[in-house]
Amino acid sequence: MNTDTLRTVEEIKEIEDAQNHIKELLASNRIYELHAYLDGELTQKYFAEKTIYNMINPNPPTSIEQNAINAIVFLNQLKAEKLIGIGNNGIDKM
């Protein structure tokens, strides 16, 4: 595995960890922590990507629950882009 592929695999793991954290906060009804995470750490980490995603999203969330679901969908799309990038770089050459 080349260095770029390893870095991308680590980024995908971080995205999955973020998704799981959001799901955990939402399931346990820790709304204040969820709000802080979505507007704090997640926004700081993926500021540019999140800004573009929110600009093209026709239905902005109107509740914290919708915001959490929106964040999970955003992270799914980000993960898909990274997986496509790995495929385009020849993952079978690892």
| Domain limits for position 33 | 3-93
Here the contacts of 23-26 (C-beta below 8 Å, separation 24 or greater) are: 23/72, 25/68, 26/65, 26/68
pLDDT one-digit tens code per residue, 72-82: 999 999 999 99
**Confidence bin at 66 (pLDDT 50/70/90):** very high
Instruction: State what percent of residues in the chain have pLDDT above 90.
Output: 67
pLDDT, tens digit, 9 for 90 and up, residues 20-54:
999 999 999 999 999 999 999 999 999 999 889 88
Count the domains in the chain: 1
Q: Cα–Cα distances in Å, from 20 out to 16, 28, 70? A: 6, 12, 14
Is the pLDDT assigned to residue 18 strictly greater than 60?
yes
This prediction has a pTM of 0.84
